[in-house]
Amino acid sequence: MQAIQKEEENPEEMSEEATPQTSTKPLKMTDINCKRLEYTIAVPLDKFDLDDFRVGIHANPETLRERRVCNTKNPEVADYHVHFGWRIRKGKADIEFEIGYVASPQKPEPDEAEPFAEDLMPWLGKYFKFGDASATIMAEFLFKEDKRQTVFPLPIKTRIAEIGVDAEINGVMFDLPSHPDGMKSVFIRQREGMLFLGIQSEKRIELSSFSVSRELESVREITEKFVR
């Protein structure tokens, strides 16, 4: 793990369109054009071993927040690194974690110690007094428009009569009050030959057995409801 450096992320950039995955190998982020998979988890302080966590992450006893990068232990296998942040919220008497899996592996520093990207979630689970936690998940995907199409008729041509100009609606965002499959909201944008899909959902996760590959299998099923 290393101290985080601010990165300029451009959602319009992506690699070649992924070929549908048919082998039995663990699913990778690039297999389904997932650019980012972020988990936000909050746990009450009385259900978390804060002192041991600070020791494990080599933080000062007084540290209240921190952001770091967890690099990839085996870049030949995992195609991501992790942006890891945490903060103590005194008003809520809890600790909140932001764990963002980013689709690009990064080799570890020579003296880098755990947690690495592949092991972060099970490593973090050691400090939870209970085995699972509720997580808000944001999954982001980027496709080439000539490979995948949204189920919505974008762009929508319209006219803004008040100012007398033609316009194109190239994005739509909507909430899902019934939370089907845990989904809370969806954002779709189709522009300049690219299709962006963002899905926010919520579910409980088992930290000790957490698997990025299994999570990707789950979100892939959700993306197929909105892009073809």
Q: How do residues 163-179 score in pLDDT, each as one tens digit?
A: 999 999 999 999 999 99
CB-CB contact of 69 with 49 (8 Å): no
Confidence of residue 9 (pLDDT cuts 50, 70, 90): very low
Lowest-pLDDT range of 14-23, 94-103, 185-194, 219-228: 14-23
Mean of per-residue pLDDT scores for the chain: 89
**Structural element, H or E, at residue 66:** strand 65-70
Q: What percent of the chain has pLDDT over 70?
A: 90
Which residues, including other chains, have CB under 8 Å from residue 142's CB and lie 6 or more apart? 11, 12, 14, 33, 35, 194, 195, 196, 197
What pLDDT score was predicted for residue 152? Answer: 82
- Residues 135 and 215: their CA atoms lie apart, in Å, by 12
What's residue 17's pLDDT? 53
Q: Could you tell me the pLDDT band of residue 39, with boundaries at 50, 70 and 90?
A: very high
Q: Is the pLDDT of residue 14 over 50?
A: no
Residue length of the chain: 228
Which of 112-116, 143-147, 183-187 is least confident? Answer: 143-147
Q: Identify the pLDDT of residue 72.
A: 97
Written as one letter, the residue type at 59 is A
Tracing tokens 């919505």 back to the chain, one arrives at 152
- Give me the pLDDT at residue 8, please: 40
In the sheet that holds 194-206, the strands lie side by side as 2-3, 65-70, 81-89, 94-102, 34-44, 132-144, 194-206, 183-191, 171-175
* pLDDT digits 0-9 by tens, 77-104: 999 999 999 999 999 999 999 999 999 9
Domain limits, the chain: 27-223
46: Cβ contacts below 8 Å, ≥ 6 apart: 93
Residue 18 has pLDDT above 70, yes or no: no
161: Cβ contacts below 8 Å, ≥ 6 apart? none
Average pLDDT over residues 196-208: 96
> 3 pLDDT exceeds 70?
no
Q: pLDDT-based confidence at 185, cuts 50/70/90?
A: very high
Query: What pLDDT shows up at residue 150?
Result: 86
pLDDT higher for 6 or 220? 220
Rg of the chain (C-alpha set) = 20
Give the tokens for residue 170.
Answer: 């190239």
Nearest Cα neighbor of 39 from 169, 224, 166, 205 is 205
H-assigned helices in 57-178:
120-125
Query: What does the alpha-carbon distance between residue 223 and residue 137 come to, in Å, rounded to a whole number?
Result: 14
Per-residue confidence band for 15, with pLDDT thresholds at 50, 70 and 90: very low
Cα–Cα distances (Å) from 131 to 55, 58, 121, 122, 137, in that order, read 20, 23, 11, 10, 18
Rounded to two decimals, the pTM is: 0.86
99 sits in which H/E element: strand 94-102
